[in-house]
Structures are given as structure tokens and as C-alpha cells.
Amino acid sequence: MNDNYYETMAGHPAGLKIKLIKRTYVLPWSQFLFAEGDADEIRMTFSTHDVVISGGKLDKLLSDIAAQRLTLLREPVRAESFATFSEPHITEIFVKKVE
């Protein structure tokens, strides 16, 4: 775990919990389609929702996403997004329902 912005587990969790400031989503890994991104932004696509994660050093999370080991993504409160980090960190998460 890294400052509670994301959590992983060794096994294969059933779903990914995304905690935004005003809403929480739980998306099943069985509906995961693909992810793409770089150090500053990752896009994850599920059959029902698109998730865009912004931050820094996020490319280090791609292997955990590919192995579906990620259990939690948490959007930080505004003050937390200005800190300096040596590990992957999240500044913003956007979740949109697929139409």
C-alpha cells in the first residue's frame, strides 16, 4: 500500500474499489477489458465504465493492473495532490459510464 492511494494484493481480487471524494465505485475484474498509459495518466476500460487516473509515476501500476492485483484506487483530497512522492501517486480519478 502507498499512502492509501492504491492497494494491491498477491492473489486475484474479485473487483476494484474506486473511492472518489463524493462517490465510490466497485468494478468487477471480470468486466476489465484493457488499460493503457504512461507515467502521468492511465486509462482503464471496463465493459460498463471508463476510468482515467492522473498522477505521477503511474506506469509502475500497469503490471499490477495487467495481473488484476489492484484492489483500491483512492482519489486524494486537494491538499494531498500537491505533495512530493517517490512512488506512484494519484492526483485525480475520473470515472465515466460507457454509453
pLDDT tens digits along 4-57 = 677 777 778 899 999 999 999 999 999 999 999 999 999 999 999 999 999 999
Give a yes or no: residue 17 inside a domain.
yes
Give a yes or no: residue 59 inside a domain.
yes
Q: What is the pTM of this model?
A: 0.84
CA distance 19 to 76: 9
Helix (H, G, I), strand (E, B) or coil at 84: coil
Give a yes or no: residue 1 inside a domain.
no
Helix (H) or strand (E) holding 59: none
Q: How far apart are the first and last CA of the chain?
A: 33
pLDDT digits (tens, 9 = 90+) for 50-87: 999 999 999 999 999 999 999 999 998 865 555 566 77
Q: Provide the number of structural domains found in the chain.
A: 1
CA distance 69 to 13: 6
Determine the structural domain holding residue 32 and report its residue range. Answer: 6-97
Give a yes or no: residue 63 inside a domain.
yes
**Residue 24 grid cell:** 465510490
